[in-house]
Amino acid sequence: MAAAVARAADRTDVIFLAGEGWFGKEGYRYSLSDLALSKPGKPYKITIEDHKIPQERRSRIIKKSSLPYIMNMGTNPQREKELRAIYFPMFLGAGSGYRLLSIRK
């Protein structure tokens, strides 16, 4: 029992603050966040808060709370000042070297 308590104390608990475009635990955004958290090899637990509210309001929730939230969103200079950004190219878009090209036959 002491080993289980020690493992829980070493575990990183984060809250995934979901919003628009949320497709549950099987969705791309959650799966990619889960993958990113697994890479350091340390135990973690993701708890989901499913808020169907706009991104700005979810940002305010994170700013006011002392809990460890993660949220997938774009960034801008103002958000960079208020929140800690973790740069992770979710859609491999501009700036990452990958492009999806659509052309006519």
- Span 32-59, pLDDT tens digits: 888 888 988 999 998 888 767 788 888 8
- Of the candidates 57, 47, 63, the residue with the CA atom closest to the CA atom of residue 20: 57
Backbone angles phi, psi at 69, to 5 degrees: -95, 150
Q: What is the pTM for the complete model shown?
A: 0.64
Report how many helices (DSSP H) and strands (DSSP E) the chain contains, helices first: 4, 3
Q: Which parts of the chain fold into alpha helices (H)?
A: 2-10, 28-38, 55-64, 77-82
